[in-house]
């Protein structure tokens, strides 16, 4: 039993209740702290995105892509592999479900970089058939024949592959012979396994002005919601901690008898 004199009042609480209350306060405090830091991370991502928007694109050269700051604006050269593309499933824009199209780009030094060419809706609102994401030949205009390998000199932002908050949302690409392959929130290793090649761990978000793309109104790709929602959740968790402490004292303080 915990006893404490507080002026004309006395705190009398069992060890079990005290331990439970303190554990709750600690838990709520840590949850609030985590949400507060998540808000700071989202603000930092938004700031990095805005800074890259104002910057000029730089040549990638031999720099390792994994070491570059997120959202670095790059200019790269290589050849699109139009025969082996991926459709990132379950991507929502303006309430509509669709795909983001990932196309491998073999850089001049041999590295394979996945280029996100943008979002397009489900054809006719149905999951079948798959959309036509073939690349036209760069040498022929109009009704150009389809080319499996298309030279490209493009610019875009380096970003992480999209992720989901729950593992059940992941679906690696199938290993069958058909292309393009539909997949949900894959890892770079899973994409590389389907291609049979090692790929760079990040993607390039194709700039809106570049050809052979789809909808590309890119925004900072934070998981879930924005900073203000995280701040609201932090304040909510901390209020639960304060309420727990209040109830602990309210239920266990008694007036001392004269």
DSSP characters over 144-195 = PPB-SEEEEEEEEEEEPPP--SSGGG-BPPP-SS-SSEEEBS--HHHHHHHH
CA–CA separation, 191 vs 167, rounded Å? Answer: 16
Q: What is the pLDDT of residue 2?
A: 63
d(CA 60, CA 71): 13
Residue 48 has pLDDT above 60, yes or no: yes
User: 116 and 206 in contact (C-beta within 8 Å)?
Assistant: yes
- Candidates 217, 235, 237, 233; CA nearest to 225 is 233
Whether residues 193 and 100 fall in one domain: yes
Contact 253, 10 (CB under 8 A): yes
Whether residues 127 and 246 share a domain: the answer is no
Report yes or no on 178 lying in a domain: yes
pLDDT tens, position by position, 165-196: 544 568 889 888 899 999 999 999 999 999 99
- Domain co-membership, 202 together with 245: no
Q: Do 199 and 236 lie in a common domain?
A: no
What is the domain range of residue 10?
Answer: 2-42+226-255
Q: Average pLDDT, stretch 92-102?
A: 91
To 10 degrees, the CA torsion angle through 20, 26, 27, 31? 160
Say how many C-beta atoms besides its own lie within 10 A of residue 91's C-beta.
17
Within this chain, do residues 159 and 230 fall inside the same structural domain, yes or no?
A: no
Beta strands in the chain (DSSP E): 2-6, 9-13, 58-59, 73-81, 86-93, 96-107, 112-121, 149-159, 181-183, 203-206, 253-255
Q: Which residue has the higher pLDDT, 11 or 237?
A: 237
Map residue 14 onto helix, strand or coil: coil
Among the listed residues 163, 161, 155, 185, the one whose alpha carbon sits nearest the alpha carbon of residue 172: 185
**In a shared domain, residues 238 and 197:** no
Which residues, at least 6 apart from 143, have a Cβ–Cβ distance to it below 8 Å? none
Q: Is residue 213 part of a domain?
A: no
139 part of a folded domain: yes
Residue 175 lies in a domain: yes
Same domain, 197 and 236: no
Q: Do the beta carbons of residue 203 and residue 159 sit within 8 Å?
A: yes
Instruction: Report percent pLDDT > 90 for the chain.
Output: 48
The 10s digit of each residue's pLDDT in 125-166 is 788 889 999 987 644 444 444 456 788 899 999 999 987 654
Structural domains counted in the chain: 2
Please report whether residue 47 resides in a domain. no
pTM of the model: 0.72
**87 and 184 belong to one structural domain:** yes
Based on the fold, state whether residues 38 and 124 are members of the same structural domain: no
97 and 178 fall within a common domain:
yes
Residue 58 lies in a domain: no
State whether 120 and 157 are in the same domain.
yes
Q: Do 142 and 33 share a structural domain?
A: no
């Amino acid at each position: 039993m915990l006893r404490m004199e507080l002026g004309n009042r006395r705190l009398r609480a069992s060890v079990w209740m005290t331990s439970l209350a303190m554990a709750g306060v600690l838990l709520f405090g840590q949850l609030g702290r985590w949400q507060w830091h998540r808000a700071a991370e989202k603000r930092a991502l938004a700031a990095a995105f805005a800074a890259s928007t104002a910057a000029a694109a730089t040549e990638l050269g031999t720099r390792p892509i994994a070491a570059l700051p997120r959202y670095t604006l790059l200019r790269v050269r290589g050849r699109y592999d139009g025969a082996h593309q991926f459709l990132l499933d379950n991507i929502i824009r303006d309430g509509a479900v669709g795909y983001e199209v990932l196309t491998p780009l073999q850089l001049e030094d041999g590295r394979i970089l996945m280029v996100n060419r943008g979002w397009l809706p489900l054809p006719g609102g149905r999951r079948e058939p798959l959309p036509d994401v073939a690349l036209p030949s760069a040498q022929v205009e109009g009704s150009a024949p389809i080319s499996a390998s298309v030279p490209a000199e493009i610019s875009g932002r380096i970003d992480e592959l999209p992720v989901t908050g729950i593992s059940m949302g992941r679906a690696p690409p199938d290993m069958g012979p058909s292309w393009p392959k539909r997949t949900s929130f894959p890892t770079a290793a899973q994409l590389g396994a389907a291609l049979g090649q090692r790929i760079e761990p990040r993607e390039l978000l194709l700039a809106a002005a570049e050809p052979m793309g789809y909808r590309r109104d890119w925004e900072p790709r934070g998981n879930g919601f924005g900073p203000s929602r995280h701040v609201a959740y932090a304040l909510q968790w901390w209020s639960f901690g304060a309420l727990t402490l209040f109830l602990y004292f309210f239920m266990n303080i008694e007036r001392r008898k004269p």
